[in-house]
Amino acid sequence: MEARPQRIATGVPVRKEVRELEIPARVEHWLDTLADLTWMHLAGRDASRLRIVTTLLHGNEPSSIRGLHRWLRGRETPAVDLWILIGAVQAAIEPPRFAHRFLPADGDLNRGWGKSPVEAGSKLLASERAARIAELLRAFRASNAEALIDLHNNTGHNPPYGVGPDAGPTALGLVSLFGQRFVHSPLALGTLVEATVSHFPSVTIECGRAGDPRADDVAYDGLVRFLERDELSSLANAGREIERLGDPIRVTLREGARLEFAGTHRAGASLTLDPELDRHNFQLIAEGTQLGWVEGTRLALEARDAQGRDRSGDLFRVADGRLSAARPWVPVMMTTDPVIARADCLFYVVEPLPTWEP
**Could you list the residues that contact Zn ion (CB under 5 A)?**
58, 61, 152
| CA gap 281, 108 in Å, rounded | 25
Cβ(155)–Cβ(335) under 8 Å? yes
Decide whether 77 or 90 has the Cβ nearer to Zn ion.
90
Q: How far is the CB of 111 from Zn ion (least distance, A)?
A: 10
Q: Point out which residues pair with 82 in neighbouring strands.
A: 42, 51
Q: How many CB atoms lie within 10 A of CB 116?
A: 11
CA torsion 205-206-211-215 (nearest 10°) is -70
CA 260, CA 193: separation in Å to the nearest integer? 33
Q: How far is the CB of 117 from Zn ion (least distance, A)?
A: 22
CB of 193 or CB of 257, closer to Zn ion: 193
Give the integer Cα–Cα distance in Å for 57 and 110: 6
Closer residue to Zn ion (CB): 23 or 340: 340
Task: Specify the residue, 153 or 272, whose C-beta has the smaller distance to Zn ion.
Answer: 153
- Residue 251 CB, nearest approach to Zn ion (Å): 18
CA angle (77, 63, 227) in 5-degree steps: 20
Residue 124 or residue 294: which is nearer to Zn ion going by CB?
124
User: Taking the chain, what is the end-to-end CA distance rounded to the nearest angstrom?
Assistant: 44
Cβ of residue 337: shortest distance to Zn ion, in angstroms? 13
Which residue's CB is nearer to Zn ion, number 87 or number 239? Answer: 87
Maximum CA pair distance of the chain? 70
Distance of closest approach, residue 143 Cβ to Zn ion, in angstroms: 22
Residue whose CB is less far from Zn ion, 58 or 280: 58
- Least distance to Zn ion, CB of residue 293, Å: 30
CB of residue 146 vs Zn ion: minimum separation in angstroms? 23
Which amino acid type is present at position 90? Q
Task: Quote the least distance from Cβ 230 to Zn ion, whole Å.
Answer: 30
Is the CB of 54 or the CB of 312 nearer to Zn ion?
54
